[in-house]
Amino acid sequence: MTATTSDIDKAAGVLRAGGLVALPTETVYGLGANAEDPAAVSRIFQAKGRPPSHPLIVHIGGAEHLDDWVQDVPATARLLAEHFWPGPLTLVLRRGPRVPLEATGGLETVAVRVPDHPVALALLAAFGGGVTAPSANRFGSVSPTTADDVRAELGDAVDFVLDGGPCEVGVESTIVDATSDLPTVLRPGGVTREDLEAVLGHPLAVPATSTVRVPGQHPSHYAPRARVVLVEPEKLVIEAEAAQKLGQQVGVLLSPPFAGTPVKAHAVVEVPASLAGYARGLYGFLRALDQRGCDLIVASLPVEEGLGLAIANRLRRAAGPRSIV
Ligand code: TXA
Ligand code: MG
């Protein structure tokens, strides 16, 4: 059930009182607090079990509010904000005095975005301030793309959940270091590299040139309970069946060229042919395979173009070593 006007007013009241509100965005659900209330911001870290050094994104109601939160905005950052907001693009800029260090993990930069979801925008308008929000999952696990996912992840740790239906994009925003006129991508996401380059009029600098520290980009992230292994597409069926034969409960993310191929495994999800469909469904597929009791998920990477870059990034992290969390 989509949030009503009275739900939005109630949620704004919870934020004003220092509480936590889960809110839908076009990418994933966020766990929001008043960005200017350090105690409320600290509660986010407790609820998620997230180390306090991991910076959060401040969500604002429109590009016209950008200068309330940051300083020294390069012309390129303004161009990107005007072009892509509201939308799945996060800009890292120099922190303005309104942003407490609790929200930035002690950094002098802050990540800001305007979410493209009517419920999020209504909440930001009703509240009037900035809402700092990471994805509304426990630290290291799969991001929620429905209100039910949020409840399953966080239970009573969240004071109020705004339901805005399933998220359209399905993977998190693209994070760009926009502190200079040579922006770099820190995390691939819903806005593609190709989209950014079309607006900038030149290729993006390779990530290695960024001097911005990116805490919170652990090798293992976005991980389901089941172990994830990535294999070459042509080996997907054979590897999955071999593991199942050895007694594992195997879940398979079956990608397009193999759609319809019968696989002797515990559970098979046929991935949509379009990258947008794959991104939208990705976290739900991982959750579903967990719920079906899989202990191993076998997948292969999509072509790393467009949204394929973000999907591949999340799958690699889902398959990353678990010890480093
Ligand atoms: O789509 C999204 O971005 C979602 C929705 C809720 O907006 N949010 C999200 O937040 O994915 P979170 O906290 O799960 O990931 C934000 C990441 C951090 O892990 C960190 O890597 C990066 O943003 N980040 C935040 N502030 C930063 C900063 N000042 N400098 C560099 N990276 C930063
Ligand atoms: Mg997250």
Rounded (5°) CA angle 187-209-306: 35
The residue type at 85: W
Question: Is the pLDDT score of 257 beyond 90?
Answer: no
Question: Is the pLDDT score of 91 beyond 50?
Answer: yes
Mutate to test the pocket of ligand 1, among 99, 107, 141, 172 (most ligand atoms within 8 A of CB): 172
Ligand 2 centroid to 141 CA: how many Å?
8
Q: Which atom of ligand 1 is nearest to the CA of 217?
A: 21
- Per-residue b or e along 200-237, where b marks 16 or more CB atoms closer than 10 Å to that residue's CB: beeebeeeeebebebebebebbbbbebebbbeebeebb
Residues with CB under 5 A from ligand 2 (ion): 135
Ordered structural domains, the chain, with CATH: 5-200 (3.90.870.10), 227-318 (3.40.50.11030)
Pocket of ligand 1 (CB under 6 A): 25, 27-28, 30, 54-57, 88, 90, 92, 104, 107, 109-111, 115, 133-135, 172-173, 175, 186, 212, 214, 216-217
Ligand 2 centroid to 143 CA: how many Å?
6
Count of residues making up the chain:
325
What is the model's pTM?
0.95
Residue 324 confidence class, pLDDT cut points 50, 70, 90: very low
Residue 260 confidence class, pLDDT cut points 50, 70, 90: confident
Question: Is the pLDDT score of 133 beyond 50?
Answer: yes
- Closest ligand, as measured to the CA of 27: 1
Q: In what order do the strands lie in the sheet with 296-299?
A: 227-230, 296-299, 250-254, 267-270
Weakest mean pLDDT among 61-75, 83-97, 107-121, 256-270: 256-270
